[in-house]
Structure 1
Amino acid sequence: MDDLVTAPTQLDKHWLTEAVRLREEHAGPLEDQEANRRARQQGGDLATRIEHRALWLAERDGMGEALRHWKQGARLALIGLMLFAVLSGAGLGLAALGDGQRPVNVFWALGSLLGLNLLMLLGWAASLITAAEQGAVLGRLWLWLSERFARDAKAAHLAPALLVLLQRQRLDRWLLGALVHGLWLLAMITALGMLLALLATRRYGFVWETTLLAAEPFIRLTHALGALPSLLGFSVPDEAMIRASGDTLPALDLARQAWASWLLGVVLVYGLLPRLLLATLCLWRWRQGRERLSLDLSLPGYAPLREALMPRSERLGVQDPAPQALPQFQPGQLEAGASGALLVGLELDDQRPWPPALPSTVTNAGILDSRESRNKLLEQLSRFPPARLAIACDPRRSPDRGSLALLAELARNAGATRIWLLPAVPGQALDAARLGDWHEALERLGLPHADTSPLTWLEHGHD
């Protein structure tokens, strides 16, 4: 669960991508300009960009954290179902043998231990053959408990997204199958353990009873059921023991031990081993299919994203790798293909008259004072990079990491960039130490800066 914070699995990525698609399908498109821009900068094919966009939106809107909560709830729900399986298995074993005061009817005991298990197993096999919904009741119970334990309103689309994602490649049958068989396996292990504990600490007698049938059907059934367990070393009562058990309660310890061994062997072979094999098969098929999961780009929610994430006029070129600390600016990246001059202010207050008088060849891009304005300008620069860009900064503010990262990103989208450190407002003095911090930070980024107006440079390309 918590590993999603640092290293989301491929399943987590597909899951969140599908959850974002469902959310937009029900509530309308999200505000995604910054997400689209980051996805385009990330590069890759359309599926990769859709996934990157969705992951950024999911973390921004809290769906990533909701997924971690949902997984925590799913684990708590699974623990609850496992405890229920343990208690059920213990109850089956105790109900089958009783308290030892009365003789045990071997076929009634066998029916109580294996009857429901075999019926559910046959139902699962039939639904597998007919491609019907797998583990519907148990699956819905697990999903319902997971949501209740998560208690996060932002997780509303996570469970439907998981089902849609898995059903698309029919992986839900293997995931829920592993869950169903795993819980039944736990129940049968507990029942077998309870049988061993009771048989080791109490003295039981075994009988079979009938009013309509003769002894031969019981003899044949006992030998047929005991054939496979006998290969594993379990005892099978002989014909004399079986006939004696149908007439009176045999007092021979040899007969008691033979019936006890036969009962344990039948429960192991026909109750526990099938669930173990099927749980292993489902887990193997689930892991195989999970590695082949991919996005279905033909879905309606993904089609409108193609133009936004892979525009026909997209600029080609080497994209800078994701920075470890601050983005590094390399001058001259966009000299070819860039044109025009642009002046923009970064978080300027009302104490400064803005903009200054500009030549006709210089465009005023306004003041970047909100996320929307930054996104809008970055989007514009990514499509129409200017040949010269001047960014006016107020040196009274501290050069925080976010501002410096934005300066570097703006500079990467222009042919040449200069940072204009504005002079002090009349009546106020600049802090020399803070101004020094600006100089040091801009030098680390490799961005040229000056305290004088860059308007001549913007208009003519030189001072």
Structure 2
Amino acid sequence: MPLKSIPESLWLAETLRLSEARAGTLEDAEACRQARAGGGDLRQRLLVRARWLAQRDGLDRALGHWRQGAALALALLAALALGSGAGLALAALGDGSRPVNLLWALGSLLGLHLLTLAGWALGSLFGAGAGSLLGRLWLDLGQRLARDARSALLGPALLALLGRAGLQRWALGLLSHGLWLLALLAALAVLLVQLATRRYGFVWETTLLPSASFAALIHGLGALPALLGFAQPDLDLLRASGEAVVGGEAARQTWASWLLGVFLVYGLLPRALLALLCLWRWRRGLARLDLDTGHPDYLALRERLLPSSERLGISDAAPAQLYRPQAGSAPAGSARALLVAVELDERQPWPPREASGVEDAGILDDRDSRHRLLERLAGAPPARLLIACDPRRSPDRGTLALLGELARSAGQTRVWLLPAPPGATLDTQRLGDWQAALDALQLAHAGEAPWHWLEHGDD
């Protein structure tokens, strides 16, 4: 299956949908904010949200591991197919010490192939998942080889995405017919080598069934290959081979040509044509591959991603699993500088001084003020952002998450750990906790305000 032709954004969005349907909605306030800032319709915002959450939670890396595991699983299945095909040919002809029973040889070479081909045809006729056995084996083996717990839903999400576009049948069919084609090609190669290097005698035998029926069957099987130039045994050779091994060179070559022709026409040719058909339908159907934005799971996100009106002060339930915040930087949308404080008490003077060309965003002391500032920064990120924090407070997880989110909304960010106000003391242990937490976020910090950097962009 050509996985590279499947858009990663669609695959990740469908995987997140399945994950959230099972475990609940992820903490996605910043992801939704980024999606709203980017604009577009619901589909576009769903894809932006999915990409952001996948990068945050490592799902994009898990997808890379899954692709590697799937490629390795496909290589192993291909090697197994080649080995199985060679084994079928060796078992069908033997070592030349005994005559080759034509019907036993055909049964060995084409029996399992025809059974699975009939199963695929019935599955396609009645709408079942054709090639599901090999497909399920490939998915399970790929998941094991990926060795990444986060990739558990990537396989089911892929099948759901393909099934919605009507591509699952053709994708798994391409996998199934492709592997069978490899097996039959390996068998053909071994047949040619054996027939070229050993002398075989051919015979057909029956005890219970009429000899005339068997002779008619063998003659009928050779009719189509004869149209392609393969030898067709005449009635005298058919009758003689049913009674004993005919040892003449011409007889041996006739039966060898008949066997190869039947193998090509009823074995290789159907698999090759069906593989091409599946490949053609797959390529045509890729244009239909898309999200089902009318799915209830996606409609539940509509108001957050495409709100009918902007509302403030929405309180979301705490997520079942918290993630570790990380800082970063956004491309600066302007040359402006911004100064903001987080949860200061009344004894801390604010703003501490007037700075030339610096905008004061005030003090973030509640959810509404944080939400308004983040929405503002999502549309117009500043070039420089200085965040003032009171190190007498504990660096709790919510504050650190806010710092990381603010940092991702600005070109450059620094944190100013304010000195204690007159009459207050600063706990050195708590100051060390702040410094360690900011180092983990990879945020520059200092006990003195970098005013020159904030105003002019350099130190």
Please state which band the TM-score falls in when normalised by the shorter chain. 0.7 to 0.9
In structure 1, the residue matched to 2:20 is 24
CA distance in 1 between partners of 2:237 and 2:407 (Å): 90
Query: CA, structure 1 residues 431+46, in 2 after alignment: closer, same or farther (shift >3 Å)?
Result: closer
Matched, 1:260 2:256: yes
CA distance in 2 between partners of 1:89 and 1:403 (Å): 61
Structure 2: which amino acid aligns with 1:328? G
RMSD: 4.1
Task: Report if the CA contact (8 A) 2:37-2:378 is conserved.
Answer: no
Query: CA, structure 1 residues 357+82, in 2 after alignment: closer, same or farther (shift >3 Å)?
Result: closer
Give, in angstroms, the shift of residue 97 of structure 1. Answer: 0.3
Q: Which moved more, 1:138-147 or 1:44-53?
A: 138-147
In structure 1, the residue matched to 2:371 is 376
CA distance in 2 between partners of 1:143 and 1:423 (Å): 55
In structure 2, the residue matched to 1:415 is none
Q: For structure 2, which runs of at least 5 residues remain unmatched after alignment? A: 312-328, 354-359, 389-403, 422-445
In structure 1, the residue matched to 2:198 is 202
2:29 corresponds to which of 4, 10, 33: 33
Structure 2: which amino acid aligns with 1:115? G
State the Cα deviation string for residues 164-210 of structure 1 (Å, max 9, x = none).
22222332111111111111111111111111011111100001112
Task: Report if the CA contact (8 A) 1:182-1:275 is conserved.
Answer: yes
CA distance in 1 between partners of 2:29 and 2:40 (Å): 18
Secondary structure at the aligned position of 2:137 is classed as helix
Query: CA, structure 1 residues 421+180, in 2 after alignment: closer, same or farther (shift >3 Å)?
Result: closer
Give, in angstroms, the shift of residue 94 of structure 1. Answer: 0.5
Structure 1: which amino acid aligns with 2:331? L
Q: Which moved more, 1:184-193 or 1:227-236?
A: 227-236
Give, in angstroms, the shift of residue 134 of structure 1. Answer: 2.2
Structure 2: which amino acid aligns with 1:376? H
In structure 2, the residue matched to 1:159 is 155
In structure 2, the residue matched to 1:450 is none
TM-score normalised by length of structure 1: 0.74
CA distance in 1 between partners of 2:363 and 2:101 (Å): 90
How many residue pairs end up in the alignment?
395
CA distance in 2 between partners of 1:384 and 1:237 (Å): 81
In structure 2, the residue matched to 1:288 is 284
Task: Report if the CA contact (8 A) 1:63-1:154 is conserved.
Answer: yes
CA distance in 2 between partners of 1:365 and 1:153 (Å): 42
Give, in angstroms, the shift of residue 243 of structure 1. Answer: 1.3
Structure 1: which amino acid aligns with 2:333? Q
Secondary structure at the aligned position of 1:302 is classed as helix
In structure 1, the residue matched to 2:109 is 113
In structure 2, the residue matched to 1:344 is 340
Secondary structure at the aligned position of 2:341 is classed as strand
Give, in angstroms, the shift of residue 215 of structure 1. Answer: 3.8
In structure 1, the residue matched to 2:348 is 353
Task: Report if the CA contact (8 A) 1:344-1:367 is conserved.
Answer: no
Query: CA, structure 1 residues 108+375, in 2 after alignment: closer, same or farther (shift >3 Å)?
Result: farther
Matched, 1:326 2:322: no
Give, in angstroms, the shift of residue 136 of structure 1. Answer: 2.5
In structure 1, the residue matched to 2:217 is 221
Structure 1: which amino acid aligns with 2:332? P
State the Cα deviation string for residues 259-296 of structure 1 (Å, max 9, x = none).
00110111011001100111111111122222211111
In structure 2, the residue matched to 1:338 is none
Give, in angstroms, the shift of residue 312 of structure 1. Answer: 2.2
Give, in angstroms, the shift of residue 439 of structure 1. Answer: 4.6
Q: For structure 1, which runs of at least 5 residues remain unmatched after alignment? A: 316-323, 332-341, 395-400, 411-418, 444-463
CA distance in 1 between partners of 2:178 and 2:416 (Å): 67
Query: CA, structure 1 residues 422+149, in 2 after alignment: closer, same or farther (shift >3 Å)?
Result: closer
Give, in angstroms, the shift of residue 437 of structure 1. Answer: 5.0
2:457 corresponds to which of 427, 441, 454: 441
In structure 1, the residue matched to 2:409 is 406
Matched, 1:144 2:140: yes
Query: CA, structure 1 residues 353+89, in 2 after alignment: closer, same or farther (shift >3 Å)?
Result: same
In structure 2, the residue matched to 1:67 is 63
Task: Report if the CA contact (8 A) 2:165-2:290 is conserved.
Answer: no
CA distance in 2 between partners of 1:167 and 1:423 (Å): 57
CA distance in 1 between partners of 2:238 and 2:370 (Å): 84
Task: Report if the CA contact (8 A) 1:236-1:258 is conserved.
Answer: yes
Structure 2: which amino acid aligns with 1:441? G
Query: CA, structure 1 residues 260+374, in 2 after alignment: closer, same or farther (shift >3 Å)?
Result: farther
CA distance in 1 between partners of 2:78 and 2:233 (Å): 35
State the Cα deviation string for residues 226-284 of structure 1 (Å, max 9, x = none).
12212222111111111111122111100000000110111011001100111111111
Give, in angstroms, the shift of residue 127 of structure 1. Answer: 1.0
Secondary structure at the aligned position of 1:145 is classed as helix
Structure 1: which amino acid aligns with 2:363? A
1:50 corresponds to which of 23, 46, 66: 46
CA distance in 1 between partners of 2:238 and 2:205 (Å): 11
CA distance in 2 between partners of 1:251 and 1:45 (Å): 77
- Kindly report which structure 2 residues correspond to 1:443-462, keeping only aligned pairs within 5 A, or say none: none
In structure 2, the residue matched to 1:456 is none
Give, in angstroms, the shift of residue 217 of structure 1. Answer: 2.4
Q: Which moved more, 1:296-305 or 1:248-257?
A: 296-305
Give, in angstroms, the shift of residue 106 of structure 1. Answer: 0.7
State the Cα deviation string for residues 43-94 of structure 1 (Å, max 9, x = none).
1110110111011101110111111111111111111111111111011100
Secondary structure at the aligned position of 2:273 is classed as helix
In structure 1, the residue matched to 2:363 is 365
State the Cα deviation string for residues 112-168 of structure 1 (Å, max 9, x = none).
111111111011101111112322322221111111101111112211211222222
CA distance in 2 between partners of 1:9 and 1:58 (Å): 19
Structure 2: which amino acid aligns with 1:365? I
Query: CA, structure 1 residues 213+127, in 2 after alignment: closer, same or farther (shift >3 Å)?
Result: same
Secondary structure at the aligned position of 1:406 is classed as coil
Task: Report if the CA contact (8 A) 1:392-1:422 is conserved.
Answer: no
Give, in angstroms, the shift of residue 423 of structure 1. Answer: 11
CA distance in 1 between partners of 2:169 and 2:340 (Å): 57
In structure 1, the residue matched to 2:394 is none
Q: Which moved more, 1:195-204 or 1:299-308?
A: 299-308
Query: CA, structure 1 residues 249+36, in 2 after alignment: closer, same or farther (shift >3 Å)?
Result: same
Query: CA, structure 1 residues 9+276, in 2 after alignment: closer, same or farther (shift >3 Å)?
Result: closer
